Amino acid sequence: MIKKTVLDNYFRSVTLPILITLMVFIYASGLSAKTFSYIVADARDGKIIRSHKSTQIIHPASLTKMMTLYLAFDAIRFGRLKLDQKVVISKNAASEPPSKFWYKPGQRVSIRYLIRASAIRSANDAATALGEAISGSEKKFTSDMNIAAKKMGMNSTRFKNAHGLTEIGHYSTAKDMLILARRLMLDYPEYFNIFSRLETYASGKTIKNTNYKFLRQYNGASGIKTGYTNAAGHNLAASAKRGEKQLIGIIIGTSSSSERAKKIIGLFDDAFKAIPKRKNISSLAPLNLAKIDSTRRIAAVNIPLLKPRSFEDMLKSQGKKNVNELHKNPNQTSTKSVRRNNVNVQIGMYTTLVSAERDMPNILLLNIDLLADIDNESIKIRKNKEKKYSIFVNEITYALAENLCVRTQSQETTCSILVN
């Protein structure tokens, strides 16, 4: 079963008053600077018109569901699923956090309604149920998502779940999300109209499109998908068509649903003026997942890494000659005697729990490639010896601890290696 986010696990462990206080603080202060990036392209040939930090690693949030839906359309086209086929909702799918459709374990739901719930309502339980129906299990589905992403050329993306909730090792870029959105548009035009619906019917309910602001406000708007988590901010994959002109764009990390609609509208207005009226559409061959060797697993995706100062420079700045002096322990004179997983890392020094929680998504994203294989239970926020709050990464190797501190300290955040 896919692990939930470190923050989700932590939130479940705190008392209700603390959680309420944290939520009030977050909403009242408009917390945490998000990674703001965008990219706009001519949908017909993919030519980029405007972009800003479009290759920077980001949290995609529910834009992830575009891949889930792409693979659902693929399975239908090639006969592995049928729209009116009913599947049984698993306990795993039903237990997903909101936003959700609130399906019950054992409930039978058609693929058609799961698609609508995922695309329009952005329901996490529906997305997980779709993935399980397509690939047999959530774990297998996320592997298939990564294989498909690599085949599409999404080289800075890795998926860990079908819905997009924040999780260590789940990341993308605005540019990669554009690749995915364009393929969704061009490869499956027969299904793409679903993204333009202001509302639709699914499983006995009329559901409203989470993208209704952009769809209502912009002439020619045709989709596609919204996304939001606290770590990501408000994201949007958008598309619009005016005559023969067609645009597609991604915006990441805005502060509200109104702001993301406003910003993409401004970008699209400028882009429509910049592109020619006529242009040939560059078609793309659809991915038939059945043809993918599913025994191949993507262990990691190459992502652009920060280039912090060297470890030697870091030691020098602290007046240390070597690694052993950095975290000297009277019972520890050489790193050779450190057991393989007997090292903890203490990151940051926060006066309040709220400030630690606020910074935690940024710390995780900064080190997302290094922490991808670390169990979520090994990452905690707790008080340190100075009775302040720190983020602790527990029971890791000394080499990994060094790398974490090099990168974290390059961003002017304190980091200490603690040898047990």
Known catalytic residues are 62, 65, 122
Give the count of beta carbons closer than 10 Å to the beta carbon of residue 77.
15
Q: What are phi and psi of 245, to 5 degrees?
A: -85, 140
The encoded tokens of residue 372 equal 């991808």
The encoded tokens of residue 46 equal 């993919």
113-152: b or e for each residue (b if 16 or more CB lie within 10 Å)? bbbbbbbbbbbbbbbbbbbbbbbeebeebbbbbbbbbbeb
Alpha carbons 124 and 92: distance in angstroms, whole number: 11
**Would you say 182 and 43 are in contact if contact means Cβ atoms under 8 Å apart?**
yes
Cα separations (Å) of 330 from 138, 318, 333?
Answer: 47, 19, 7
Contacts for 377 with CB less than 8 Å, ≥ 6 apart: 9
Alpha carbons 341 and 324: distance in angstroms, whole number: 17
**Would you say 92 and 119 are in contact if contact means Cβ atoms under 8 Å apart?**
no
Three-class SS state of 335: helix
**Would you say 80 and 247 are in contact if contact means Cβ atoms under 8 Å apart?**
no
